[in-house]
Amino acid sequence: MATYVLVHGAWHTGELFEEVAAPIRGAGHEVHLPTIAGNRPGDEKTIGLAPAIASIVDYLVSNDLSDVILLGHSYGGMIITGVADAVPERLRRLIYWNAFVPNDGECLNDMVPPHYVALFDAVSGQSSDNSVMLPYPIWREAFINDGDAALAQSSFDRLNPHPYATFTDPINLKTNPADMQVAKSYINATSDTALPQSLGWHPRLSEKLGLFRLVQTPGSHEMCFSDPAGLAEAIMAAGRD
């Protein structure tokens, strides 16, 4: 059986993946749900990308995890790319689930349409701590379009303000993802419009991985809430062997 470490996206925490982890654990695997520094209760929101990545490296090291299948969701793609660059010897496979795939020197905002960057700049500028939240209408229509209104609201209520510097800091990599020797998968939820599909996740970002295993699944950007069982199936298909 395998060891999965699932790394959440912006505004999320690890515990929001509990319903995804349950069926994976039910299939006999070990599943870890760390929360990235900056998204833990009480964390400073001024944290940048490097310490955010370091917090997941530390999690793997302090728990002495090896042969890990490491998944990143959305912003989590920045994190797992940095982790893979730092401790490749601990990893069996990377899984990007509708996630950003950076090359050396790129930041998350480099892969986002200009109207989102303008929105994030404005929202973070009005905060006292350079944090950013997603306006509810965007969450409801573009992120969790496959859920009903009650689920959209209850999941939104569980989000936390995100440290905006992690979107604007460029990543430092020794090796770009296409050249990493670790095995790679990309899960694409076919109704995900968190990025406009004209400028979407797959194949635009997925193909930055070089050789990778594609798993497509129906669903939105927030299948962790709207279809956790379907997401768990996709993860296990992406992660097997």
Q: Does 29 bind its own copies (CB under 8 A)?
A: no
Among 26, 105, 125, 196, the residue binding its own copies under the rule CB under 8 A is 196
- Nearest to its own copies of 39, 145 (CB atom): 145
Rule CB under 8 A: choose which of 66, 141, 158, 172 binds its own copies: 141
**Residue with smaller CB distance to its own copies, 36 or 70:** 70
Tell the smallest beta-carbon distance from residue 40 to its own copies (Å).
31
Which amino acid would we find at residue 34?
P
The residue (of 52 and 99) whose beta carbon lies closer to its own copies is 99
Q: What angle do CA 40, 177, 163 make, to 5 degrees?
A: 25
Return the number of the residue (52 or 152) whose C-beta is nearest its own copies: 152
Q: Report d(CA 128, CA 172) in Å as an integer.
A: 27
Q: Pick from 207, 222, 229, 239 the residue near its own copies by CB under 8 A.
A: 207
| Closer to its own copies by Cβ: residue 105 or 196 | 196
Q: Does 137 bind its own copies (CB under 8 A)?
A: yes
From the list 138, 170, 172, 176, which residue makes contact with its own copies (rule: CB under 8 A)? 138
From 66, 127, 154, 190, residue interacting with its own copies (rule: CB under 8 A): 190
Question: By CB under 8 A, which span of 20-28, 35-43, 59-67, 203-211 interacts with its own copies?
Answer: 203-211
Which listed residue (146, 169, 222, 227) binds its own copies by CB under 8 A? Answer: 146
Residue 111: CB minimum distance to its own copies, A: 15
User: Kindly report the CA angle at 101 between 236 and 229, in degrees rounded to 5?
Assistant: 25
Answer whether the bond into residue 203 is a cis peptide, omega within 30°: yes
Minimum CB distance to its own copies, residue 64 (Å): 26
Q: Which residues contact 215 (CB under 8 A, 6 or more apart)?
A: 185, 186, 187, 188, 234, 237, 238
Binding site for its own copies (CB under 8 A): 137-138, 140-142, 145-146, 148-149, 152, 183, 190-191, 193, 196-198, 200, 202-204, 207, 211-216, 218, 237, 240-241
